[in-house]
Chains A and B, each alone.
Chain A
Amino acid sequence: MITVPRPVAPPEGSAVRPAALVAAFATQLRVYRRAPTALLVHSVFYLMVTAVLSGLWRVAVAATGGTMAGYDPTAIVWYITTTEAAILGVRQRLIEDEGEEIVSGRIELDLLRPAAVFPLKYAAQLGEAGPKLICSIVVGVTWARLFGGAIADAGALALAGLALVLAVLVNVAAQLAMVALSFWLHDVKSTWFLYQKLVFVLGGMLLPLEVLPATAQTVAKALPFMAMAYVPGRLAAGHVELGLLGLQALWLVVMVTAAAVGYRVGLARMVRHR
């Protein structure tokens, strides 16, 4: 006869081995080493999108007398170039792909490894985003310098580089937090669709938040999406506002916590009720 201990929640968050996180990150780098054309395709796509959008915005700014909401033609090119780099670096269908893992039950495989699920997924996604971000920065700086001209404050650009990294960290964490909703909501496609549109508009990817009506601007600046695109764009456009980096750091903590808790609670629910 076996004694029956009381069931307790699986300790999802208790096993994070740094070497495993490094390995998860490095494994994605190896994928690029095997298939470097993926980075070439990404760079070409990024350049096309950036060229079209920044060209349109430069014409629009010029048509309104040379500045729009504090952005001159040079600043708007750097803004769009930077926001596109921040968003396109992250896997486009992350929510859909990872959500499908949960809905289909394939995530069970991850439970058969001695490691917490969320940190490994986070590290793997950052491994995928990192090289894309570096390519985007190289292509983007070249494009903005040639097409938009130089930004007067070089310090702002350095801060924008830091903000780009934070933007990707927040974006990936936020997307994984949305993925965790798949433990309860099984419609991952609509989750992804909604998230994408919010980032496009309220995140400031397609336009600086300053051009939005006052109320929409207030709402947008209170949401985490601004940390994913607007902040690095604003800094790259020459506005040295250190408080924006603080906001990014705050949203990073919030999103990582939300994703970690979401996975922990969702997995615990799955092993009990699935």
Chain B
Amino acid sequence: MPNLETALFVFMLAAFLGFELIRRVSPLLHTPLMSLTNAIAAISVVGAILISGEKEASTLSRVLGFIAVVAATVNAVSGYLITDRMLKMFKKRDGAER
């Protein structure tokens, strides 16, 4: 694991950035926010692809990697789609006037 210091720096900065960004989100949107961050956590798909796509991967790696890619894809796809579905419902009166 090279560059531990850089990695820790990146982590620290991202965590503080996350705090600042999330604090600004109105409670009105906390549910979609949670679905969205949940979808972003599906970034583990990157690791899953690296594990299962390797040339010399063992059978164990292939199997675990395959399941991991499926699971992360479920996480990402359903997370993004439902966030958008929820946000579509938030309307102001002007738009909805009949």
Decide whether A and B are members of one complex. no
Residues of B within 8 A of A (CB): none
